[in-house]
Amino acid sequence: MLTGKKLVILGGDARQLEVIKKLNELDAQLSLVGFDQLDQNYNGTSKVELDEVDCAEVDSIILPTSGASDEGIIETIFSDKTVKITKEWLKRTPKHCTIYTGISTPYLSSIAKESNRDIVELFERDDVAIYNSVPTAEGVLMMVIQNTDITINQSKVVILGLGRIGMSFARTFQALGANVRVGARRPEHLARVSEMGMKPFYIRDLEQNVHDIDVCINTIPARVLDGEVLSNMPVNALIVDVASKPGGTDFRYAEKRGIKAILAPGLPGIVAPKTAGRIIANVLSELLQDKFQGGSR
């Protein structure tokens, strides 16, 4: 339980509603900033402005999955008001106050360091990434169906990266009958691809493995789909790039060649916000309970 713990939730999208619900069930005292247009009310919570929060009593701060912009602006889907987190505001919180966010940003990391406050990046955790791989795979599957005129069965699909998300992509498309090739850098990943019954290849050989494909799904946050690779790809191929912005594709050159390339980060929050929110809520509630029950205060 989180009875008596004072948590501030700053902005966010539909995923945060599941976080609010879960933490409210655990009896935390929640101050909701950036939710003034939210019709739903939760007993024991209060919708407030940031300057109304008593900083000295804040035990933890929960930010949206996107963190804060380079100017410190927080995404607020349920408010038209600007919410900005600053170093000055953060320094007024207790030293034990921890910031929880999906991802950090240079600005957020900077003010946390200067304020000597800890940041926990939920999307850097293996458990969150693995749980999120399921709605991400479903979202990519939906995009492929919507943007191609062929069946996935017997299609030629290349997946780049066999990390926590790439593994789910490979299994999903293989289960639907696609001819799956997986590009990776690490020998153990190539061995796993082979063991799973798919064709492995080294990323350095990518240029030779795209000449006849129907779909390419990239998970690698580096420019792997450059001009040389794209020039060997069929113009009717589809690229779905789920790597964090700016992705791993030369989108300008893809457009010039007539190849449809879609940058699609953050799919769980788009295709399954309730499920994605529950994933975050469950992990976050465990982290908070461990923190306080472990005597961090």
Q: Which of 271, 242, 282, 277 is nearest to 13 (CA)?
A: 277
Q: Tokens 């529950």 — which residue? A: 278
Percent of the chain scoring above 70 in pLDDT: 99
Q: Per the structure, how many domains does the chain have? A: 2
Helix (H, G, I), strand (E, B) or coil at 245: coil
Helix (H, G, I), strand (E, B) or coil at 101: strand
Q: Is residue 197 located within the same domain as residue 212?
A: yes
Q: Is residue 249 located within the same domain as residue 286?
A: no
Q: Which of 175, 195, 193 is nearest to 184 (CA)?
A: 193
Return d(Cα 175, Cα 168) in angstroms, integer: 11
Which of the four pLDDT bands, split at 50, 70 and 90, describes residue 147?
very high
The β-bridge partners of 12 are 76
8 Å CB contact between 160 and 248: yes
Can you give the pLDDT at residue 294?
66
Q: Is residue 190 located within the same domain as residue 251?
A: yes
Q: What is the mean pLDDT of the chain?
A: 94
Which of the four pLDDT bands, split at 50, 70 and 90, describes residue 44?
confident
pLDDT at 239 over 80: yes
Q: Is residue 66 located within the same domain as residue 104?
A: yes
The whole-model pTM stands at 0.83
Can you give the pLDDT at residue 287?
95
pLDDT at 295 over 80: no
Return d(Cα 44, Cα 271) in angstroms, integer: 30
Q: Is residue 69 part of a domain?
A: yes
Q: Is residue 135 located within the same domain as residue 252?
A: yes
Can you give the pLDDT at residue 296?
43
Q: Is residue 174 part of a domain?
A: yes
Report phi then psi at 52, rounded to 5: -90, -10
pLDDT at 289 over 60: yes
Q: Is residue 258 located within the same domain as residue 277?
A: no
Digit-coded pLDDT (tens) for 67-90? 999 999 999 999 999 999 999 999
Helix (H, G, I), strand (E, B) or coil at 278: helix
| Residue 60 buriedness (CB in 10 A; 0-12 / 13-18 / 19+) | buried
Q: Is residue 206 located within the same domain as residue 114?
A: no
Enclosing domain of residue 80: 6-124+273-293
Q: Under 8 Å CB-to-CB from 95, ≥6 apart: which residues?
A: 116, 117
Left if phi > 0, otherwise alpha if psi is -120 to 50, otherwise beta: which for 170?
Answer: alpha
Alpha helices by DSSP H, 92-216: 106-115, 126-147, 164-175, 187-195
Ranges assigned E (strand) in 54-116: 60-62, 73-74, 83-84, 98-101
Task: Name which of 27-36, 40-49, 172-181 the model is least confident about.
Answer: 40-49
Task: Note the Cα 135 to chain centre separation in Å.
Answer: 11
Digit-coded pLDDT (tens) for 89-144? 999 999 999 999 999 999 999 999 999 999 999 999 999 999 999 999 999 999 99
> What's the CATH number where 184 sits?
3.40.50.720
pLDDT at 184 over 70: yes
Strand (E) or helix (H) holding 291: helix 273-293
pLDDT at 179 over 70: yes
From residue 102, how far is each of 162, 178, 187, 194, 294 by CA, in Å?
Answer: 22, 32, 30, 33, 23
Joined together, the tokens standing for residue 217 give 């799904």
Q: Is residue 213 located within the same domain as residue 91?
A: no
Q: Is residue 137 located within the same domain as residue 154?
A: yes
Report phi then psi at 234, rounded to 5: -60, 145
8 Å CB contact between 40 and 78: no
Q: Which of 245, 276, 249 is nearest to 260 (CA)?
A: 249
Strand (E) or helix (H) holding 48: strand 45-48
Q: Is residue 188 part of a domain?
A: yes
Which of the four pLDDT bands, split at 50, 70 and 90, describes residue 244?
confident
Q: Is residue 189 part of a domain?
A: yes
Q: Is residue 1 part of a domain?
A: no
Can you give the pLDDT at residue 16?
94
Helix (H, G, I), strand (E, B) or coil at 155: coil
Q: Is residue 72 located within the same domain as residue 143?
A: no
Q: Is residue 28 located within the same domain as residue 131?
A: no
Q: Is residue 142 located within the same domain as residue 248?
A: yes
* Higher-confidence position of 168 and 41: 168
Can you give the pLDDT at residue 95?
93
The β-bridge partners of 9 are 32, 62
